[in-house]
Amino acid sequence: MSTFNLGSTLPAVEVTSKGEILLENGKIQYANWSSASLKGKIRTVHHLAGRSAAKEINEPLIDALKKANLPQDCYQTTTIINVNDAIFGTAGIVTMMVEGGKKEFPWSSIVVDAKGAVQKAWGLEKESSAIFVLDANGAILFSKDGALSSAEVKTVLNLIEAELANAEA
């Protein structure tokens, strides 16, 4: 498991096998994705294995972020799904479900990583879920590989709100 230094940036990585899901005229397209694109907005980056058990690990945080109704002009959640770490034979089903999610939430930033490039580059646990909070310059404000406690969920929400307040000042 990797440790990330607060104030540093995530290791550079590109996803060229699948990539970021784009919705163009109601049709799903894929584009190469790079961690360099994480700059420009305050972000929560949610990296997870392509399995329902991994989705459930940090679901309380994702639900809290949805309820927080954060301003889309300066905040975004980027979800990276490692379908290389799906239960055997389910990667196609996971991909279809993720594409459906993009149609339901077209403003969302979703990356499908078919080869596990991000998990390898960032040294993340398999079958897990990791959360990163980044400032608008891409600097790490919070990171955890694994389940967040309820106190950590509050910490993440407070960090994001403080960054948004600083951005508006």
pLDDT of residue 11: 95
pLDDT of residue 132: 98
Give the global pTM: 0.94
Q: Are the CB atoms for 129 and 57 separated by under 8 Å?
A: yes
pLDDT (mean) for 140-154? 97
- Count of C-beta atoms within a 10 Å radius of residue 12: 9
Residue with tokens 């060229």, as numbered in its chain: 16
Nearest to 70 by CA among 167, 156, 164, 169: 164
pLDDT of residue 166: 87
DSSP assignment of 47-88: EEESSHHHHHHTHHHHHHHHHHT--TTTEEEEEEEEGGGS-T
pLDDT of residue 23: 93
Residue 144 has pLDDT above 70, yes or no: yes
pLDDT digits 0-9 by tens, 2-29: 678 999 999 999 999 999 999 999 899 9
What is the distance between the alpha carbons of residues 40 and 26, in angstroms, rounded to a whole number? 26
Residue 1 has pLDDT above 60, yes or no: no
- Residues of the chain with pLDDT > 90, as a percent, come to 79
pLDDT digits 0-9 by tens, 36-91: 999 999 999 999 999 999 999 999 999 999 999 899 999 999 999 999 998 888 88
pLDDT digits 0-9 by tens, 23-51: 999 899 999 999 999 999 999 999 999 99
Q: Are the CB atoms for 115 and 17 separated by under 8 Å?
A: yes
- Beta-strand ranges (E) seen in 83-128 are 109-113
Q: Which residues contact 67 (CB under 8 A, 6 or more apart)?
A: none
Q: Are the CB atoms for 110 and 139 separated by under 8 Å?
A: no
